[in-house]
Amino acid sequence: MKIAFIGLGNMGGPMARNLVAAGHGVTGYDTAAPMPEGVAQAASAAEAAAGAEVVLTMLPNGAILRSVAAEVIPAMQPGAVFCDCSTVDVESARAVADQAEAAGLGALDAPVSGGIGGAAAGTLTFMVGGSDAAFATVKPLFDIMGQKAVHCGASGAGQAAKICNNMILGVTMIATCEAFALADKLGLDRQKMFDVVSTSSGYSWTMNAYCPAPGVGPTSPADNGYKPGFAAELMLKDLRLSQQAAEAADADTPMGQLAAQLYRQFVEGEDGKGRDFSAMLPRFEARGRG
């Protein structure tokens, strides 16, 4: 398949490499990142998209997505599919899909879960919104870049699923870190805490698979000085998107709102920027009730 890939940074680069390794022809464009080995470099996003059967994008935010889409969609051949893998606001995803469909193209919003490691290993999960036909076209590529692709519904549904999932993730990580900090102050051994909670009703992904306490549970960023697997500032971005969506949908999300406030304080007012989102644990360790 002839593929264009626009946005070849920490996530897009490894995803494009996996497509090349599987035998697909990939033409890429990025304003700053180097071209992965085997990816042909285009002089512009529009040049990359010309003649491609599928155009994949991995971009920082909705405004940049809208800008790239405005450049790329007129250059795409009829019947091709514009598939955005960024995590952006639902409104931008739907606006770009409408623009693509008006131009006779397929459109998918397909944000991912799995981080940089999943991108490199080809084990991402894709949460996909868009038509059945567009999903069927891109599904073989999802199978190369990831281990699972869930067709969540119409345009915007992929972003909605990602935002809701990561709101749960942010809230549960804060609760897990709070509980460890409380256990410390109560004199409870962290390993004993893990042994109980990981097999009891407090079980969660943040406890069992990504434990924020060093030396407890499976290896996680906590065991590597909290170097990011998923950076705190990216969690803040996703929590802000969840609250933007909640406001637009008139949804009451007090826990999501508080989690966004806490991560904002951690990233912008404390030392959270550049650290893993599980570094909330040393933050709570150092704080008292006041």
- Write out the catalytic residue numbers: 162
Q: Which residue has the tokens 């991560």?
A: 263
Contact criterion met (CB below 8 Å) for 281 and 217: no
* Token code pair at residue 103: 């131009």
- For residue 109, list its beta bridge partners: 84, 129
The rounded Cα 289 to chain-centroid distance in angstroms is 33
N residues, the chain = 290
Task: Give the Cα separation of 176 and 169 in Å (integer).
Answer: 10
Q: Specify the 3-state DSSP secondary structure of 4.
A: strand
Task: Give the Cα separation of 78 and 60 in Å (integer).
Answer: 27
* Token code pair at residue 74: 């007129």
Contact criterion met (CB below 8 Å) for 53 and 1: yes
Task: Give the Cα separation of 270 and 151 in Å (integer).
Answer: 39
Q: State the greatest distance between any 2 C-alpha atoms of the chain, in Å, as a whole number.
A: 65
